Amino acid sequence: MAKPLISAPTAPFHEHFASGIARAFAAARPPIQVLHDRGGNSLLIYDGGGQQEEDEFIVLTAHLDHPGLVWRTSQGSGRALFEILGGVELEKALATGVRLFDLNRPATQRGIPGTIVRAVEEEGTRYPLVEVATARDSPQGPGIFAMWDLPTFRVRGRRLSGRAIDDLAGAAVALCVLDSLVRQQASVRLGVLLTRAEEVGFVGMLAALEAGFLPRRALYINIECSSVAAGAVLGAGPILRVGDRLWVFDPDISGGMAALADELASQQPTFRYQRKLMDSGACEATPLMQADYRTGAVALPLGNYHNSGPGAQLAPEYIHLDDANGLVRLLVHVSQRGIGTGLAHSAAALDSMLASRLAQYRDHLLPL
């Protein structure tokens, strides 16, 4: 299920192929309803009935873009200027080949190989514009974009690598959770919000918030692929993310998920997880929290974040398959049990522990 989505060409404002794969996924599963806002964000909703409280409606969020290059202007036959959108190491990016894609062609297109031949400074842009040359005439105009010329999808042992793991692997996890609930005919409600243009500053999420597209009383769980530079260990399990570089997230959701993760670990000894701040970057949980939406977050430990590898050129990103499978298991468990259930158990256990500590040592608190 993950391969078509992770292999899809994408860039900020050019998420059409990934979005189309998500829509086809939903169309093949009639219990899933799909809503769209004016900005092209998609909300997939599975409603299996049951007696779930409205406040327990969980919405998973992930974004469908990845840093890339977007066509700006023609420079003649086989040459064009592109704008880099999203954060990359510029020196490595300039030394790496690209592939050009056309939104008017199928998602399975291999792309036209190209070479960055020069950088052109332009005021008001984060990076210089880059001139890309191709060996043969290539399409020009709006709808043309490029990605770094890297392997799209590769599995070696338990490692999954590709050019755009962040955040297409997070979106794939969310769809796998939906698929599991549909197959089980689970009596729960779950939403999956797939956003656009996260890599240029949460633009899709901000537009969805401005439009009032998101259910106000839902509980949100952002799914990201987050750099191991923040201290997470690849292969040690999915991350319960308590915050990012900009903000901290809802403690009740974090506490409830942690309690349910412990519960899952007691039932399935192969399951394990990590609990981290992950402050090397920011994620869409921050604008949700700033808009007063109750939000928690999870993450997959990611190597070569934004394709920044150890060499002189950009490199494929990578994750551990056990972390991804563990995250699917955790989010299915959270969806079925409910965060409120986990929080109640966690709070009761904490209250009991604190009360027992005081009872054990109260008599030692003699006046000084």
Residue 4's pLDDT is 96
Q: Could you give the maximum distance between any two Cα atoms of the chain, in Å?
A: 88
My answer on whether 61 and 105 are in the same domain is no
My answer on whether 54 and 169 are in the same domain is yes
pLDDT tens for each residue of the chain, 368 residues long:
799 999 999 999 999 999 999 999 999 999 999 999 999 999 999 999 865 565 679 999 999 999 999 999 999 999 999 999 999 999 999 999 999 999 999 999 999 999 999 999 998 889 999 999 999 888 899 999 999 999 999 999 999 999 999 999 999 999 999 999 999 999 999 999 999 999 999 999 999 999 999 999 999 999 999 999 999 999 999 999 999 999 999 999 999 999 999 999 999 999 999 999 999 999 999 999 999 999 999 999 999 999 999 999 999 999 999 999 999 999 999 999 999 888 888 888 889 999 999 999 999 998 98
**Domain extent for 47:** 2-65+153-347
Q: Does 362 map to a domain? A: no
My answer on whether 225 and 269 are in the same domain is yes
My answer on whether 24 and 81 are in the same domain is no
My answer on whether 297 and 333 are in the same domain is yes
My answer on whether 197 and 116 are in the same domain is no
Q: Does 367 map to a domain? A: no
Averaged confidence pLDDT in the chain = 95
My answer on whether 213 and 331 are in the same domain is yes
pLDDT per position as a tens digit, 292-335: 999 999 999 999 999 999 999 999 999 999 999 999 999 999 99
pLDDT per position as a tens digit, 81-134: 999 999 999 999 999 999 999 999 999 999 999 999 999 999 888 999 999 999
